[in-house]
Structure 1
């Protein structure tokens, strides 16, 4: 790290993390897809396809991450979400943020599909008739479910978090000092909670925050509700099942918990990036 206080060294470090994640997701995901499609017994039914879909989506998400290399920067009343390069050759003022928005699409869709797995496992134990919603054309319902929240997240960030003159000027000096770049040349989105000049609330950005929070809280609320309900009622429900079926249902539940824990890698990774930029929120506000 240079004496000027830039974060370029730490950026190189944090860009290494998603590359490891991409390698692990590709190798382990490929192994899982092979075992799931070659060695998995038919009794797993639609759940096998859900697991394959979740694994594939995770691999796509990891690929998008290394193509976009999103970064997070916290600064006083602001939050900057940006990349150093124009991905996919999109360099127009209206198009260069599309890859960043696409990244958020896959992030939201993956969380949504994870919540669908919890719903499936609950119905597999307590209401098997509803599993018909995962077969044939009815399964498209869940594709629409994940896509809806993916587009809601992506479009919300693209429009509500768009850089304007106020947010650009707010971050301009900070980005120049920390990254030696002109913010006007970077694909970037931002949240500035209030106008640094007159202190007025910037409601457009606030709506972006509410959009993100509503999606994330809803999906994790689904996981917590169905997961907790399944945990508290499972023993009573499966006590009359065969020994093998009891083991299967318990293993499936544990795997879901591990999947939630593993998916937190992405959230922790982004948080880790912001922490590695030594507490920029303590930097003095630009005059």
Structure 2
């Protein structure tokens, strides 16, 4: 259980960092930042809010994963939610918000792509249409969460394959654990429901990650020509937004894609290479929880207006700190003399 304890501590640290950094980003964006406005301002606030919800729900769901040969058990070790059904729902919601984050990053990339290369089309993001773009991530998230819930519920075959392992390594009866079981192939043949979930999840991830890469590469290739058509002030802010997006493309790769990929890949590695696998992969979810603070902190660091406001706030705070009584008395003596 050491890996789970390590994951639990990391998750709490991730939530603390997420809450502090994202709340601070929302505060600055609402009350102090002028160059982030309109649709993009709403996107920044929406995205950071989702990050706080995601990190908070991770503490409640306490998701973990176990890869055992061609089996994946996605489960919760939450000890204070007594209802297994409720805990399963929380696990599904957490997985759905994970997809919302990935999908919304692709929406942000597409929006910046349109702003940079096709500025006249930005009207398609304004007004009530903003709600469509912000609501879109719920569609792939609902599909992913729905297939997880309906296609990966535990059954007798899965429990029979995993119960001895769970009892030996977790000292728990598998029937007592809120769980989902994913096994693409077992002794009875292909498990279509589980395979359907895995294909659906991989397609959703691939499509949105492709949008991120495509828009990023197109912007990188055409950024010079596009910026020449703008004023110097707009060129500066657009370059900063582009650098922020580059970092935001590294973030999902490191914190969202890479931690999950091994979990999905191991059953096929075990199956086709005919090797035994037993890995507590759930600790990788703690890396997922570090994405929101990474994203917010990098955004505030890259966009110069945020840096300037933060610097001014820190200087104001330092200047308002009262001097110690000792120093004050010394000054009075000096003045008297």
TM-score (norm 2): 0.74
Gap regions ≥5 residues in structure 1: 1-7
Question: CA separation of 1:152/1:272 partners in 2, compared to 1, >3 Å: closer, same or farther?
Answer: closer
Question: How many positions carry a matched residue from both structures?
Answer: 268
Which 4+ runs in 1 deviate beyond 4 A?
86-89, 266-274
Contact 2:61 2:87 in 1 (8 A): no
Aligned equivalent of 2:43: 50
- Is 1:152 aligned to residue 150 of structure 2? no
SS of 2:128 mapped into structure 1:
helix
Using the alignment, how far apart are the partners of 2:109 and 2:197 within structure 1?
Answer: 27
Question: Larger Rg: 1 or 2?
Answer: 2
Q: Is the Cα contact below 8 Å between 2:72 and 2:263 reproduced in 1?
A: no
Q: 1:166 aligns with which of 140, 144, 157?
A: 157
Relative to structure 1, the CA distance from residue 186 to residue 43 in structure 2 (aligned partners, 3 Å threshold; closer, same or farther) is closer
Deviation at 1:244, TM superposition (A): 2.1
Which residue of the other structure, out of 86, 107, 124, is the alignment partner of 1:116?
A: 107
- What stretches of structure 2 of length at least 5 have no aligned partner? 265-269, 279-337
Q: How does 1:240-279 map to 2 (within 5 A)?
A: 240-263=229-252, 264-267=254-257
Displacement of 1:30: 1.0
User: Which residue of structure 2 aligns with residue 77 of structure 1?
Assistant: 70
- Shifted more, 237-246 versus 156-165: the winner is 237-246
Question: 1-side partners of 2:91 and 2:80: how far apart?
Answer: 9
Which stretch of structure 1 is more off in the superposition, 160-169 or 135-144? 135-144
Task: Tell me which moved more, 255-264 or 29-38.
Answer: 255-264
The answer as to 2:214 corresponding to 1:225 is: yes
Judge conservation of contact 1:157–1:208 (CA < 8 Å) in 2: yes
The answer to whether the 8 Å contact 1:193/1:202 transfers is yes
String of CA shifts for 1:203-223, please: whole Å, max 9, x gaps. Answer: 111001011001111110111
User: Where does residue 201 of structure 2 map in the other structure?
Assistant: 212
- Output the CA distance in 2 between the equivalents of 1:240 and 1:29: 33
Q: Give per-residue Cα distances to partners, 1:233-258, cap 9 Å, x unaligned.
A: 11111123222221211110111122
CA shift, 1:267, in A, is: 4.7
Note the C-alpha offset of 1:127.
1.7
Cα drift, residue 271 of structure 1: 7.3
Instruction: Calculate the TM-score normalised by the size of structure 1.
Output: 0.86
